[in-house]
């Protein structure tokens, strides 16, 4: 779903208990994650992996490189100063594809997906097609393109229904290992966390059993071509020249004010990472978009060697 200056979807929570958002102020966690796309988190740690052994290019003996140093992007001086002044409920996560470390800011806080769930809808549909041994139809491919690149809500509703709706998407999320995502009959009212969105992004971007290379390439190509007026956060905050596959989402929810989200993959040379950011109850739609864009910039700078 998008803001008031775009086409607005009519999707809202269809009923049920009101989601209580709990903010654990100042919570910062980093853990070491395995390279598997659906594995659970490892023990809480900020330690870098052990030293790696590298072979010299000459006849000299094999040497051991010094330990790599990995920086939590949420704890750099610039990030701390910025986050201290943020208004609203902000939660975010980063998965570094080089160190295989996950960094979380205010972890475990569920917020509504809005249009961010369109990544999930397409991944579910692609997985079902893979299991069924057939590609998406030409119409489904056109709808998927409109849903991701233009964030079309009507296209999302059609594909949500074709995929099997709430139960099908929830089953796929369970296979991914998204244990902090709460299903809903309305696709925009699904509640999730950045940790779960990082798990989903890993299935879309890294080799795994749920999505084959062709499926991952199709979804990634659409996320790389999101139109300009649907971009902020990950789409604007990173260094020029980086390859970005992303999706944003935002809409006004009566209980939490503006819900604004941004997630995606960033590649720049040998450096690559996944990021998911969500904020609600901030000052305004535009202010929350600016918050995520600035945070994306600080994350990008903090992960840079």
Q: Give the dihedral sign, CA 130/158/156/200.
A: negative
Please name every residue paired with 272 in a beta bridge, in sequence order, or none if there are none.
267
The answer to whether 149 touches 227, Cβ cutoff 8 Å, is: yes
- pLDDT tens-digit readout, 163-198: 999 999 999 999 999 999 999 999 989 999 999 999
What is 28-46+68-303's CATH number? 3.40.710.10
pLDDT at position 238: 83
The answer to whether 96 touches 266, Cβ cutoff 8 Å, is: no
The answer to whether 225 touches 146, Cβ cutoff 8 Å, is: no
pLDDT at position 81: 98
- pLDDT tens-digit readout, 236-254: 878 878 899 999 999 998 8
Ranking 104-113, 151-160, 190-199, 232-241 by mean pLDDT, the lowest is: 232-241
Q: What share of the chain has pLDDT > 90, as a percent?
A: 69
Ranking 18-32, 120-134, 235-249 by mean pLDDT, the lowest is: 18-32
Average pLDDT along the chain: 81
Q: What are phi and psi of 29, to 5 degrees?
A: -130, 140
pLDDT at position 69: 61
Residue 282 banded pLDDT, cuts 50, 70, 90: very high
Whether 148 has a pLDDT exceeding 60, the answer reads yes
> What's the pTM value of the predicted model, to 2 decimals?
0.79
pLDDT at position 45: 30
To the nearest 10 degrees (0 to 180), the angle between helices 117-132 and 213-223 is 150
Residue entry with tokens 């296209």? 155
pLDDT at position 239: 80
pLDDT at position 1: 57
Residue predicted with more confidence, 28 or 251: 251
What is the C-alpha R_g of the chain?
A: 19
- What are the residues whose beta carbons fall under 8 Å from the beta carbon of 187, sequence distance 6 or more? 11, 113, 117, 121, 156, 157, 160, 169
CA 193 – CA 91 distance, rounded (Å):
8
- Quick one: CA torsion of 294, 35, 69, 58, rounded to 10 degrees? -130
């Amino acid at each position: 779903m998008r803001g008031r200056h775009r086409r607005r979807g009519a999707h809202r929570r269809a009923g049920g208990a009101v989601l209580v958002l709990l903010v654990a102020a100042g919570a910062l966690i980093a853990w070491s994650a395995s390279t598997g796309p659906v594995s659970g988190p490892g023990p809480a740690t900020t330690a870098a992996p052990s030293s790696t052994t590298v072979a010299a290019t000459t006849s000299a003996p094999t040497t051991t490189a010094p330990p790599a140093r990995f920086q939590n992007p949420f704890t750099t001086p610039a990030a701390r100063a910025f986050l201290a002044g943020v208004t609203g409920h902000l939660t975010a996560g980063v998965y570094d594809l080089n160190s295989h470390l996950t960094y979380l800011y205010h972890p475990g806080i569920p917020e509504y997906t809005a249009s961010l769930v369109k990544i999930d809808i397409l991944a579910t549909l692609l997985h079902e097609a893979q299991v069924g041994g057939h590609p998406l139809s030409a119409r489904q491919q056109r709808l998927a393109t409109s849903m991701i690149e233009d964030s079309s809500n009507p296209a999302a509703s059609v594909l949500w229904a074709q995929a099997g709706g709430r139960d099908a998407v929830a089953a796929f999320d369970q296979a991914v290992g998204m244990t902090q995502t709460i299903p809903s009959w309305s696709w925009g009212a699904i509640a999730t966390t950045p940790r779960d969105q990082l798990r989903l992004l890993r299935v879309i971007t890294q080799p795994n059993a749920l999505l084959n290379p062709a499926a991952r390439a199709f979804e990634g190509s659409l996320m790389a071509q999101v139109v300009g007026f649907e971009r902020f956060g990950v789409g604007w905050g990173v260094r020029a020249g980086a390859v970005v596959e992303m999706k944003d989402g935002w809409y006004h929810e009566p209980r939490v004010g503006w819900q604004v989200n941004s997630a995606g993959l960033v590649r720049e040379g040998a450096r690559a990472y996944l990021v998911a950011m969500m904020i609600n109850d901030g000052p305004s739609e535009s202010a929350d978009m600016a918050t995520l864009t600035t945070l994306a910039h600080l994350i990008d700078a903090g992960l840079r060697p």
